[in-house]
Amino acid sequence: MSEYIMEVNDLKTHFHTKTGVVKAVDGVNFKVKKGEILGIVGESGCGKSVTSQSIMRLVGSKSSEHVSGEVRYHGEDLLLKTEREMEKIRGKDISMVFQDPMTSLNPAYNVGTQIAEMPEIHEKKPKKAAWKRAVEMLTKVGIPSSEKRAHQYPHQYSGGMRQRGVIAMSLACDPDLIIADEPTTALDVTIQAQVLDLLRKLRDDTGTAIMMITHDLGVVAELCDRVAVMYAGKIVEEGTIEDIFDRPKHPYTKGLLNSVPRPGRRERLQPIEGQPPNLQNLPQGCRFQDRCPFVMDKCLAQQPELLPAESEQHTVACWLEEEGQPDGDRGTRKNRQPEEAL
């Protein structure tokens, strides 16, 4: 069996709007290993949420939403599944945690009932057993007096507790992948740290893989094993935490790292100048060209591919990589003709 539970190949999600085609996700490739925590990081609007919504088939049903490529989950392409088949997968095999817990919680029902619904629907568990499971899950995510709390309504929970409740719901059917889209962004820092701790502990205990979508490099550093950096609908660099934080290659990744405070570093923060390109009117060539301090002629003409840099697992989409090593001793990119790289 493959070590990967999910393989996303050339995923494209384009929205056809009155003013033109928005290429929100435009040829994204990545893999998620069993039990790993993969971070997807990038500025607002770079396509992180649309990537996760496309995987879960939450976009793609309207005629204006065009999703193509492959989302292989245990080898099967989710993009080819019927809506009925997807309903069975969502919440059971793959579950989602959103930024706002009230996206998932209904204010009209107590929290226990909402969690219990998951095993009731997906595993056909009898009501009593499902309720027991809900209380167990609340205990697992660190809700005190879980038996009593299960009877309470979302408004009786604090923000941090609600997010724990949603995580309990996402775990109720033992998924092997949780997609968490900015799950801690709305929480204050101490609660955020607790929720990150909780997610890491749950992964360690249950072996659930987590795709952590965030714009916050601090969250990535704290939680993830590997990270994919997204820019304007594409992944521009991917690697282990050490690859990305200690040996970043892409000027965008370097810019991101320079624009956030990091422990032990006292230089002035340097924000990345400029704005990401308009997704309706993308430039030819590299999408970071307008903001890149190292831009070359080639960058204006051709889009660089995501290819191995120092190791097979550390990939970068940047022409500088080739320029930086003129003897061409750089694995797969070496001897590549420009037209092949398009």
Residue ranges that bind Mg ion, judged by CB under 5 A: 49
Nearest to 250 by CA among 261, 239, 263: 239
332 makes contact with ligand ATP (CB under 6 A)? no
| Candidate list 27, 45, 60, 69; residue touching ligand ATP; CB under 6 A | 45
Q: List alpha helices for the chain, DSSP H.
A: 48-55, 83-89, 111-122, 127-140, 146-149, 159-171, 189-206, 217-223, 241-246, 251-258, 297-301, 320-324
Nearest residue (CB) to Mg ion, 49 versus 303: 49
CB burial of 298-332 (b: ≥16 within 10 Å; e: otherwise) equals: bbeebbbbbbbbeeeebbbbbbbbbeeeeeeebee
Nearest residue (CB) to ligand ATP, 223 versus 320: 223
137 binds, among Mg ion, ligand ATP, none (CB under 5 to 8 A by kind): none
Nearest residue (CB) to ligand ATP, 11 versus 279: 279
How do 307-308 and 315-316 pair as beta strands? antiparallel
Q: Which stretch binds ligand ATP (CB under 6 A): 15-23, 83-91, 216-224, 295-303?
A: 15-23
Residue 23 and residue 72 in contact, taking contact as beta carbons nearer than 8 Å: no
* Distance (Å, whole) CA 115 – CA 151: 11
Q: How far is the CB of 147 from ligand ATP (least distance, A)?
A: 36
DSSP string, 290-333: GG-TT--HHHHH-PPP-EESSSTT-EE--THHHHH-TT--SGGG
Residue 10 and residue 79 in contact, taking contact as beta carbons nearer than 8 Å: no
Residue 15 and residue 65 in contact, taking contact as beta carbons nearer than 8 Å: yes
61 makes contact with ligand ATP (CB under 6 A)? no
52 binds, among ligand ATP, Mg ion, none (CB under 5 to 8 A by kind): none
DSSP 276: P
Q: Dmax over Cα atoms in the chain, in whole Å?
A: 68
Sign of the alpha-carbon torsion through 26, 214, 318, 311:
negative
Cα-Cα end-to-end distance for the chain? 33
User: Tokens in use for 220?
Assistant: 């990535």
287 makes contact with ligand ATP (CB under 6 A)? no
* Distance (Å, whole) CA 93 – CA 177: 7
97 makes contact with ligand ATP (CB under 6 A)? no
User: Tokens in use for 267?
Assistant: 């230089």
17 makes contact with ligand ATP (CB under 6 A)? yes
| Candidate list 8, 22, 202, 235; residue touching ligand ATP; CB under 6 A | 22
Nearest residue (CB) to ligand ATP, 46 versus 97: 46
| Candidate list 5, 6, 8, 24; residue touching ligand ATP; CB under 6 A | 24
Binding mask 144-173 for ligand ATP (x = CB under 6 A): ------------------------------
101 makes contact with ligand ATP (CB under 6 A)? no
103 makes contact with ligand ATP (CB under 6 A)? no
* Distance (Å, whole) CA 150 – CA 179: 24
Q: Which stretch binds ligand ATP (CB under 6 A): 27-35, 44-52, 193-201, 251-259?
A: 44-52
Nearest residue (CB) to Mg ion, 51 versus 114: 51
Q: How far is the CB of 181 from Mg ion (least distance, A)?
A: 6
167 binds, among Mg ion, ligand ATP, none (CB under 5 to 8 A by kind): none
Q: How far is the CB of 48 from ligand ATP (least distance, A)?
A: 4
45 binds, among ligand ATP, Mg ion, none (CB under 5 to 8 A by kind): ligand ATP
Binding site for ligand ATP (CB under 6 A): 15, 17, 22, 24, 42, 44-50, 215, 279
